[in-house]
C-alpha cells in the first residue's frame, strides 16, 4: 500500500515533524527508517551522540524532583489520561507501528491493549505500592520500624523493534508513577512509535523533560544511556543484554533485562487438540514469530502427535500472509534483511542436515522484501542451528514424546527460560507440569497472553533469558530505593540501660529472646 494512502499522522510530513523534535545540540548524522512492507525509506532520524544523551539525562535529572514532589494521585491522573488518549488515537498509533515494524494490524492492536491495561493497572495501584509499610521492630512496642520507597532518579529504557508501542512505554509507566524521570532509546528501526507515545504522555500532563526520547544507534546512544542512568531497563537479545549488564554492573547501576527465548509448548495426551492447535498458531506466528515469548519448539504426546501435526499444518497453510494497513492479514513481514537472513539460514541449515519442511520454508519477495512463510518443521536435531539458537521468525519445530518426564526434560533442555505453555484438560496436572518447567512464565491452555496480561503478576526470564521482572509489584518496586526508618521508643536494642550491670543485662536479654521465640506475633 502506498505511503500516500496512510492517514496524515503517518505521512512523510508528520514523521518529519516527529524526527525534528528529537533534541540534539547540532546537526547529526541521519539514520534512515525503512518500511518493511516495501523496503522504502520513509524518513530519517538523528543519530544522537553520547553528548546528546547526557544532555537529555541532565534535563531529566533536573525535572525529576518536581515530578516526584507531586502527589501520587496527580501522577496517576496523568497516566489515566494517557490511557484514554492511547485508545482515542489508536488508529494513528496502529498506522505508525505497522509502517515501521511491518507487523499485521491485529498484532499491532495487541500492543494497544497492552499499553492501556498496563497504564490502568499501575495508575490504580501506585498509591498502594508507595504507601509506607510497617514492619516488625527489633522489640515489640519499643521499636517502630517502617519502610519508605523513594524514586531511583532517572530511568533509562532501551526498547527493541518488535513491539515498538508496548516496549517503549509500559516499562516507563511504573517508573514515572514511582516519581522517576525516564529517557527512552528506541530501536533505530522503530523510533516513531516511541515519539508518538511521548507526545501523548505530554498531552496527558507528564512534563516534557520527565519523559524524553533520544534516537540513535545502540552502540553509542544506548551505551551512553546505560552509563548515565540510575536504573536501566533493557529488552533485547541475550548477547547485547550481557554487555548492558556488564556496563551497568561496573557503575553499580541496577538493571532489569528481558532477553532471548527458545520457548517450548508441551501438549499432553489429554489436551483438546483443536484448542492446542489454535494456541500453537497464535504462539508461533504472532508478529511473524518476532516475539520474545513465541514458541519455537513444540512437544506433542505420541498418542495425538499425528492428528495434531496434520491439523497444525492445515491451519498454518491457511494463514493469510500479506501486507495491509487494515485488519485482515494474519501474518505480516519480518523487520528487515538481517532478520530474513537469520530465518533463511536456520531453515536451510536444518534442511541440509535432514529436517523436513511440512509447510512454508520460503521467502516471499512477491509480497514484500522481507516476508517469509509460516513454517512447520519435523526431524530437527541438536546439530542444527534451529534446535538451540533463537530464530525469531515464523518457524517452529515439532517433536513427539512418550512420557511426561521426557516432555519436561525436553522443555528444559535449553539455555533459555522465558515462556512456556502446557496443554491439558486436567488443571492440577497442568500446574504440576508447569512448576517443573524452568521458565519465568508458564501458561496452561494458552500461548502467552494469560500470563503476560496478568499484569499484577511478575513476568521475566530464568537462565539466559534475563534478570529482574516487569509487571506486578516487582515491576514497580524495582524503580524505587527502599529506606528503613526505625524509631526506638525506650531503651536501647543492644546496650544495657544506665546503671544496669552488663551481666544482668545479658541474662535479661536471654530470657527475652527465649520468650519471643514462643510468641507468634514477634516471630
Q: Give catalytic residues, as residue numbers.
A: 258, 292
> What are 374's three cell numbers?
509460516
| Contact yes or no for 263/294 (Cβ under 8 A) | yes
End-to-end CA distance of the chain: 67
Task: Compute the half-sphere exposure of residue 430: CA atoms within 13 Å on the CB side of its CA.
Answer: 20
Q: Which residue's C-alpha cell is 539458537?
A: 389
> What are 229's three cell numbers?
542512568
| Contact yes or no for 417/440 (Cβ under 8 A) | yes
| Contact yes or no for 412/265 (Cβ under 8 A) | no
To 5 degrees, how large is the angle CA 79–CA 82–CA 86?
145
To 5 degrees, how large is the angle CA 62–CA 219–CA 475?
55
Cross-strand partners of 145: 135, 486
Report the interhelical angle of 191-204 vs 72-88 (nearest 10°): 130
H or E segment and range at residue 496: none
**From CA 236, how far away is CA 243, in angstroms rounded?**
11
> What are 380's three cell numbers?
530437527
Sheet with 263-267, edge to edge strand ranges: 356-359, 375-378, 395-401, 295-301, 263-267, 419-423, 441-444
Question: In the 3-class helix/strand/coil scheme, how is 140-181 assigned residue by residue?
Answer: CCCEEEEEEEEECCEEEEECCCCCCCHHHHCCHHHHHHCCCE
Helix (H, G, I), strand (E, B) or coil at 437: coil
> What are 184's three cell numbers?
527512552
- Sequence length of the chain is 523
Residue whose C-alpha is closest to residue 172's, from 226, 111, 233: 233
Amino acid at each position: 500500500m502506498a505511503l500516500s494512502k496512510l492517514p496524515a499522522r503517518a505521512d512523510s510530513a508528520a514523521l518529519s515533524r516527529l524526527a525534528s523534535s528529537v533534541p540534539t545540540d547540532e546537526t547529526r548524522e541521519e539514520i534512515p527508517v525503512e518500511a518493511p512492507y516495501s523496503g522504502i525509506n520513509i524518513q530519517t532520524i538523528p543519530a544522537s551522540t553520547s553528548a546528546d544523551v547526557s544532555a537529555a539525562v541532565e534535563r531529566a535529572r533536573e525535572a525529576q524532583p518536581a515530578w516526584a514532589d507531586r502527589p501520587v494521585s496527580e501522577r496517576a491522573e496523568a497516566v489515566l489520561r494517557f490511557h484514554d488518549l492511547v485508545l482515542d488515537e489508536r488508529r494513528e498509533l496502529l498506522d505508525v507501528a505497522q509502517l515501521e515494524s511491518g507487523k499485521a494490524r491485529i498484532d499491532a492492536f495487541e500492543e494497544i491493549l497492552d499499553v492501556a491495561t498496563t497504564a490502568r493497572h499501575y495508575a490504580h495501584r501506585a498509591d498502594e505500592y508507595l504507601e509506607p509499610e510497617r514492619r516488625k521492630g527489633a522489640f515489640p512496642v519499643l521499636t517502630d520500624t517502617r519502610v519508605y520507597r523513594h524514586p531511583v532518579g532517572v530511568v533509562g529504557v532501551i526498547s527493541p523493534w518488535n513491539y515498538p508501542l508496548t516496549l517503549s512505554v509500559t516499562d516507563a509507566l511504573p517508573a514515572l508513577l514511582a516519581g522517576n524521570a525516564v529517557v527512552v532509546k528506541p530501536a533505530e528501526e522503530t523510533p516513531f512509535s516511541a515519539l508518538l507515545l511521548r507526545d501523548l504522555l505530554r498531552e496527558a500532563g507528564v512534563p516534557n523533560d520527565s519523559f524524553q526520547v533520544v534516537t540513535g544507534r545502540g552502540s553509542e546512544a544506548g551505551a551512553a544511556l546505560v552509563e548515565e542512568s540510575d536504573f536501566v531497563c533493557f529488552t533485547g537479545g541475550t548477547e547485547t543484554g550481557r554487555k548492558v549488564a556488564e556496563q551497568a554492573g561496573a557503575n553499580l547501576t541496577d538493571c532489569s533485562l528481558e532477553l532471548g527465548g527458545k520457548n517450548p509448548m508441551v501438549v499432553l495426551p489429554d489436551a483438546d487438540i483443536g484448542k492446542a492447535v489454535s494456541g500453537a498458531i497464535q504462539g508461533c506466528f504472532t508478529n511473524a514469530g518476532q516475539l520474545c515469548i513465541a514458541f519455537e519448539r513444540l512437544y506433542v504426546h505420541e498418542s495425538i502427535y499425528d492428528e495434531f501435526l496434520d491439523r497444525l499444518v492445515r491451519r498454518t497453510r491457511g494463514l493469510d500472509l500479506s501486507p495491509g494497513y487494515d485488519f485482515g492479514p494474519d501474518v505480516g513481514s519480518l523487520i528487515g534483511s538481517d532478520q530474513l537472513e537469520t530465518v533463511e539460514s536456520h531453515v536451510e541449515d536444518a534442511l541440509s542436515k535432514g529436517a523436513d519442511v511440512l509447510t512454508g520454508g520460503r521467502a516471499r519477495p512477491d509480497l514484500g522484501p522481507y516476508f517469509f512463510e509460516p513454517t512447520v518443521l519435523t526431524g530437527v536435531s541438536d546439530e542444527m542451528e534451529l534446535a538451540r539458537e533463537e530464530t525469531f521468525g515464523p518457524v517452529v519445530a515439532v517433536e513427539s514424546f512418550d512420557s511426561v518426564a521426557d516432555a519436561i526434560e525436553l522443555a528444559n533442555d535449553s539455555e533459555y527460560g522465558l515462556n512456556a505453555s502446557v496443554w491439558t484438560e486436567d488443571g492440577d496436572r497442568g500446574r504440576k507440569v508447569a512448576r517443573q518447567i524452568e521458565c519465568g512464565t508458564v501458561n496452561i491452555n494458552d500461548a502467552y497472553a494469560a500470563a503476560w496480561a496478568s499484569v499484577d503478576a511478575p513476568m521475566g526470564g530464568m537462565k539466559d533469558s534475563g534478570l529482574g521482572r516487569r509487571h506486578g509489584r516487582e515491576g514497580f518496586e524495582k524503580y524505587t530505593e527502599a529506606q528503613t526508618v526505625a524509631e526506638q521508643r525506650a531503651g536501647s536494642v543492644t546496650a544495657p540501660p544506665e546503671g544496669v550491670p552488663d551481666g544482668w543485662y545479658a541474662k535479661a536479654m536471654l530470657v527475652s529472646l527465649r520468650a519471643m521465640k514462643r510468641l507468634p506475633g514477634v516471630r
